[in-house]
Amino acid sequence: MAEVVTDLDEREEQLVAFQLAGETYGVNIFHINEIIRLREITQIPRTPPDTEGVINLRGKIVPIIDLRKRLGLPPGEHTSGTRVIIVTLDEYTVGLIVDGVNGVLRIPHASIEPPSELISGVDADYVSGVGKSGEDLVILLNLQKVLRVPVAAAA
Amino acid sequence: MMDDMSQYLGVFLDEATEQLELLERDILLLEQNPSQELLNGIFRAAHTLKGSSRAMGFTAMGELTHAMEDVFDQLRQNKLTVTRELVDALFAGLDMLKAMTEEIAAQGATELDASELTARLRQTLEQKTGAAPEGTPPPAPATASPETTAADPEDTAPPVPAFTLTDAQKTAVQEAQRTGLTLLTLQVRLAPDCLMKSVRAMMVLQALEQVGTLLATRPDEDALDNEEFENHFDVLIATEREDDAVAAAARGVNEVQDVRVRPFTLPQDTPATTGPAPEPAAPSRREARNTPPVVDERRIDAGPEARGKSPEEVQKIAAEKKQAQTVRVDVTRLDTLLNLVGELVMDRNRIAQLCGQLSLQVAANDILDSLQETAAHVGRITDELQEEIMKARMLPISNVFSRFPRMVRDLAQKLNKEVDFLVEGGETELDRSVIEVIGDPLIHMLRNSVDHGIELPEEREQAGKPRIGTVRLAACHAENHIVITIEDDGRGMDPEKLRASAVKKGLLTEEAAARLSDREALNIIFMPGFSTAKVVSDVSGRGVGMDIVRSNLQKLGAQIDIESRPGAGSRFTIKMPLTLAIIRGLLVHVAGGVYAMPLASVVETIRIAESDIHLVNHQEVIMQRGRVLPIIRLREVFQLDQGVTPAERALYMMEPASAEPVMDPDAPAEAPAKRSRRSGARAAQRTTRSSAARKTTRAASTETADVAVVRERASEPDAVRYVVIVGHAGKHYGLMVDTLIGEQEVVIKTLGKFLGEIPGISGATILGDGRVALIMDINGVVACAAAEKGKVHAA
């Protein structure tokens, strides 16, 4: 019995789901440090347009990117629902500005499909798959690609 | 087996590195000025190294050290003389040992083959000493055994069953008694399951050396070295400490089960010594390791020299005792501590600010008073804490300098030059973060001095200079900075030749080169792709150019200045912060953001009117004290609303930092003048606490960032502009800012890997109000401005 349960767990993906330009996106909860409200961002000159700047997160300097801009989605207004998801991948800790956070979702691996042409507007490179949660489609983000470091990639 | 040993590996490596450093330093001194005292030290270091490497099972290392030890022994006995070839052979051995140590550190074992070197050393011994008849005194057994490198004759000596003291040892004992030292025997028993008995025994002996002078061991030290003993051994020690203290020193070593201390009295049958005059006992521990007659011989040899040193010996013991009061701390722990203090400094600033705000809103009352008092106290404590931790992280720069003499020597020899290398100020302390990175640039600059600066001996004589050139490396503190100078009395640099060379290499147009002042022309050597050497030698040609050296130093916030007179020599002066963690910065407003400029780069701040600015050759300049000062409008460099594509950004990054000679035609450079502030820069007046600065922050932050001002600058000729004059590569630039905020200590934080390198920005810091301020990289700012200009002209 116990084995079966473990098996099930392993076949499930735990995601933090959030809204972006009317779609639901998900990032594996493993990479999420915390979710904060938008706060004052210090802009940095000579950085790419999707880099909003840096914030002071309890004494740490954390860069913030506008996820809409990074994914090539139309720009949106910041509202009271706007949140910053602080994610960490390897040595990169970055804050992603999103329209709103839904909560934690569990999606069975079996229902996740590879990225298809279905998702319009978003570069397929940034998507690792599409999952179903009830009736909703959840676009799973490929953090590795989203957090790419432009200069390092070029160098 | 390796697993069991691995726990001692750290100790072994630490010790080996220490001994190797000592050996290198002393062999170098030996070449210049051989003395008995030096030789004794060298011999001891080699002996210790031999013992520990054998105990750890690194046989090849042990053999090589043994051969070297024998050479030192012969030197000590004046049977060999110090020659260049000999020193070379010893250095070769030393290099091999270093390589082995590194390999062991990396992979726990070494496969390097030292047999050839060992044989070479043995051969040297054979040739020089001739065939010393074996077995007849006074040959030292070790040196008289060229036929075999594997078997140390001392190894075969059976363990001595009791303290049978040699005459020399007896003399030492009597001397110790005469000077009022207590003689103790210690019976040290190791744990029955102790795996590395000899290592433990050595550690016990080392621990005991801290509290007294070892006179003898039973069995003798070589037997201990070779694990030829049961679980216990005895030590005879002369000390001025109490029994308990001595026992505690021995017990402090792991796996020591039991230590018994008894007073020692010399057996009655000992005749008063008639031999050599009494001498301090210190060297006897190492001397006493051989069979009695041989020991006697050696001691007589070493005696007269060693005897005169007795006050120094005393000092040495005192120094060792002092050492025992220090604790080794993992550097990561110190790093963490510094980070925590950094946080504390920021919170301190924040608390002070909140107190200030509160006092404006709340009528004066007792609670507010005590809150302010407490906040002030916390502030003071934080300052002290920060200072102490910074001090704890300080290391003397000799940590870096110590590897240079050898390098300079080897280099000079290779180039057939004669160089006297002087090192001064090795005791100057700076943060370990700086220590770690300063070495490579200095190596390169020293190589340059020897290779390009110092002439060949014949050339020097022809020029009426002493044959031997001098290279001087010095460090000293100046305010909150360290100043390192590298000076040579070589051929110097000729500005005319540098100009011509730069033109020939296509680095500068003839016109641009002609416009450079002599002083500026010297900076040509920092241009990418420039090398003054007619022939690229494998010496300076190796590795990086001076351009990389300079940009690496500038990343550390260092300023380099060159002075040179053709025929008389050159001097490079490097001024850099003591630490890379916290700097003093001048806070300024630019385009709505707060930036910190490293105070090290700031020369002065002035106030000008828009109408003071003239356009010369597409470059905005002002006249300042009769000199032309190029103006860089930081608003234009740091404008925010303009997106930059990654490709463009990569372009900025590649822009050479030395495009500036084109920008600034005539401004004569001068040494960074003493920082003087004009009345116009009242806002930037030095504030010890940053409270004044904070007030101005608030005032200034209300000012709106009106980018249009920049565009309409011509329309308001009377507008007041604040200009921060910075020194960069021996030249001055005026950086125009919106407002000056004040001077403050800032904790440097990295922007992180995600953002990578951003042109003109070297990091960030957190202000008292929790906001983030960016730290300017002056080098980058100047490069950006130059790049911007280039873009405009191209368009």
CB neighbourhood size of B385 (10 A): 16
- Please return the burial class of B664, using the count of CB atoms within 10 Å of its CB with bins 0-12, 13-18 and 19+: buried
Q: Which residues pair with B576 in a beta bridge?
A: B482
Residue type, B446: L
One-letter identity of residue B215: L
Which pair of structure tokens corresponds to residue B520? 């500026």
Sequence-ordered list of residues with C-beta below 8 angstroms from that of B374, at least 6 positions apart, any chain: none
Q: Rounded mean pLDDT of B361-386? A: 88
The residue of chain B with its CA nearest to that of A87 is B754
Question: In this model, does residue A111 exceed pLDDT 70?
Answer: yes
CB within 8 Å: A149 and B343: no
**Phi and psi angles of residue B287, each rounded to the nearest 5 degrees, phi first:** -65, -35
Q: Would the pLDDT of B448 be above 70?
A: yes
Q: Could you tell me the two tokens for A13?
A: 């993906």
**How much is the CA Rg of chain A, to the nearest whole Å?**
16
pLDDT of residue A27: 93
Complex prediction ipTM = 0.84
Which chain B residues are Cβ-neighbours of A49 within 8 angstroms? 643-644
- Do B735 and B608 touch, CB atoms closer than 8 A? no
Average of per-residue pLDDT values in chain B = 73
Residues of A in contact with B781 (CB under 8 A): none
B47 carries an active-site annotation: yes
pLDDT of amino acid B655: 35
Given an 8 Å threshold on Cβ–Cβ distance, is B760 in contact with A61?
no
Which is catalytic among the residues B226, B290, B349, B448? B448
Single out the residue of B433, B411, B428, B556 nearest to residue B488, CA to CA.
B411
Residue of B69, B154, B487, B660 with catalytic role? B69
Q: For residue B749, name the pLDDT band (cuts at 50, 70, 90).
A: confident
CB B279 within 8 A of CB B306: yes
Helix (H) or strand (E) holding A63: strand A60-66
Which amino acid would we find at residue B97? L
Q: Mean per-residue pLDDT for B567-579?
A: 86
Does the pLDDT of residue A36 top 90, yes or no?
yes
Those residues of chain B whose CB sits closer than 8 Å to some CB in chain A are 342-343, 346, 591-593, 637-640, 643-647, 649-650, 652-653, 749-761, 764, 766, 770-774, 784
Nearest chain B residue to A59 by CA distance is: B343
Question: Kind of pairing, strands B256-263 and B212-218?
Answer: unpaired
Q: Which two tokens stand for residue B409?
A: 């020597």
Q: Does residue B467 carry a pLDDT above 80?
A: yes
Question: Among partner residues A53, A63, A151, which is closest to B752 by beta-carbon distance?
Answer: A63
Which residue in A42, A60, A61 is closest to B593 by CB distance?
A42
More confident residue, B787 or B679: B787
Distance from CA of A23 to the nearest CA of B (A): 26
Q: Which whole number is the average pLDDT over A36-64?
A: 89
A154 vs B: CB within 8 A: yes
List b or e across B160-184, with b for residues whose CB sees 16 or more CB atoms inside 10 angstroms: beebebbbbbbbbbbbbeeeebbbb
Let me know: does B140 contact B132? Beta carbons within 8 Å.
no
pLDDT grade for B310, boundaries at 50, 70 and 90 = low
Q: Which residues of B touch A72 (CB under 8 A)?
A: none
Least-confidence region, from A19-33, B338-352, B363-377, B584-598: B338-352
Q: For chain A, how are helix, strand and coil distributed in percent, rounded to 5?
A: 20, 45, 30
Work out the average pLDDT over B95-108. 84
- Of A47, A62, A149, Cβ closest to residue B644: A47
User: How far is C-alpha B53 from the geometric centre of its chain's CA atoms?
Assistant: 27
How far apart are alpha carbons B510 and B496 in whole angstroms? 12
pLDDT at B313: 56
Q: What is the identity of the amino acid at B428?
A: T
Q: Does the predicted model carry a pTM greater than 0.90?
A: no
**Whether residue B571 has pLDDT greater than 50:** yes
Query: pLDDT class for A6, splitting at 50, 70, 90?
Result: very low
User: Which residues in chain A are closer than 8 Å to B752, comparing Cβ atoms?
Assistant: 61-63, 92-93
Classified as helix, coil or strand, B701 is helix
A48 inside 8 A of chain B by CB = yes
Q: Which of B160, B140, B8, B159 is nearest to B66 (CA)?
A: B140
Q: Which among B644, B701, B772, B777 is the top mutation candidate for probing chain A, defined by the most A β-carbons within 10 Å of its own β-carbon?
A: B772
Query: By the CB < 8 Å criterion, does A14 face chain B?
Result: no
Lookup: tokens for B153: 């004759």
Lowest mean pLDDT among B221-225, B263-267, B333-337, B418-422: B263-267
Chain B residues touching residue A46 (CB < 8 angstroms): 638, 644, 649, 652, 758-761, 784
Residue whose entry in the numeric block shows the structure tokens 């001076």 = B546
Whether A40 and B784 lie within 8 Å, measured CB to CB: no
List the single residue in A with minimal CA-CA distance to B347. A59
What pLDDT does residue B317 have? 54
In this prediction, residue B709 carries a pLDDT of: 40
With a cut of 50, say whether residue B74 has pLDDT above it. Answer: yes
**Identity of the amino acid at B397:** I
Chosen from B347, B750, B754 to mutate, greatest number of chain A CBs within 10 A: B754
CA–CA dist B789, B390 (Å, integer): 42
Question: Among A45, A59, A152, whose Cβ lies nearest the Cβ of B756?
Answer: A152
- Position B82 scores a pLDDT of 81
The region of weakest confidence among B310-324, B670-684, B706-720, B754-768 is: B670-684
Please tell me the predicted confidence (pLDDT) of residue B237. Answer: 83
pLDDT class for B148, splitting at 50, 70, 90?
very low
Q: Is B154 among the catalytic positions?
A: no
User: Which residues in chain B touch residue A153, judged by CB atoms under 8 angstroms apart?
Assistant: 646
Q: H helices then E strands: how many in chain A?
A: 4, 10
> Token digits for B74?
């012969």
Q: What is the dihedral of CA B64, B66, B69, B74, to 10 degrees?
A: -110
- Would you call B610 a catalytic residue per the annotation? no
**Cβ proximity of B633 and B736 under 8 Å:** yes
A18-to-A23, A78, A118, B317 alpha-carbon distances in Å = 8, 14, 19, 69
Cβ within 8 Å, pair A154-B650: yes
Answer yes or no: is pLDDT of B480 > 80: no
Find, among B484, B476, B486, B475, the residue nearest to B407 by Cα.
B486
In tens, the pLDDT along B170-190 reads 777 777 777 777 888 888 888
Q: CB-based contact (8 Å) between A49 and chain B? A: yes
CB-CB neighbors (< 8 A) of B342 in chain A: 59
The answer to which of A22-36, B385-399, B619-633, B707-721 has the lowest mean pLDDT is B707-721
Share of chain B above pLDDT 90, in %: 8
Label the pairing between strands B481-488 and A100-108: unpaired
Contacts of A93 in chain B (CB under 8 A): 752, 754
- CB B670 within 8 Å of CB B732: yes
User: Which of B54-68, B173-187, B330-344, B519-533 is predicted least confidently?
Assistant: B519-533
Exposure letters B144-157 (e unless 16+ CB within 10 A, then b): bbbeebeebbbeeb
Residue A24 bridge partners (DSSP): A19, A138
Residue B456 phi/psi, 5-degree rounding, is -70, 150
Residue B152 has pLDDT above 50, yes or no: no
A128 inside 8 A of chain B by CB = no
pLDDT at B730: 67
Confidence at residue B325, expressed as pLDDT on a 0 to 100 scale? 65
Render B563-586 in DSSP notation, one character per residue.
EEETTTEEEEEEEEES-SSEEEEE
The secondary structure element, H or E, covering residue B12 is: helix B2-32
**Residue B756: which of A55, A93, A149 has the nearest Cβ?**
A149
In the numeric block, which tokens belong to residue B308? Answer: 């005169």
Residue B555 or A67, more confident? A67
Mean pLDDT, rounded, of chain A: 82
B721-735 average pLDDT score: 86
The yes-or-no verdict on residue B224 having pLDDT over 80 is no
For residue B168, what pLDDT band results from cuts at 50, 70 and 90? confident
With beta carbons under 8 A apart, name residues in chain B contacting A150: 646, 649, 756
8 Å CB contact between B126 and B119: no
Q: Is A76 in the B-facing interface, judged by CB distances under 8 Å?
A: no
Question: Is A46 within 8 Å of chain B by CB?
Answer: yes
- Chain B residues with CB-CB distance to A48 below 8 A: 643-646, 649
B47, B444, B481, B732: the catalytic one is B47
Q: Of the candidates A61, A63, A151, which has its C-beta nearest B650's C-beta?
A: A151
Name the pLDDT band for B539 (thresholds 50, 70, 90). very low
Q: Which whole-number Å values give the CA distances from B770 to B345, B382, B537, B695, B767, in the listed order? A: 12, 18, 53, 15, 5
A contact test, residue of B351, B649, B749, B755 with most A CBs within 10 A: B755
For the segment B647-663, what is each residue's pLDDT rounded down to a tens digit? 444 433 333 333 333 33
Name which residue leads in pLDDT, B527 or B301.
B527
C-alpha B345 chain-centroid distance: 27
Q: Are A86 and A33 in contact (CB under 8 A)?
A: yes
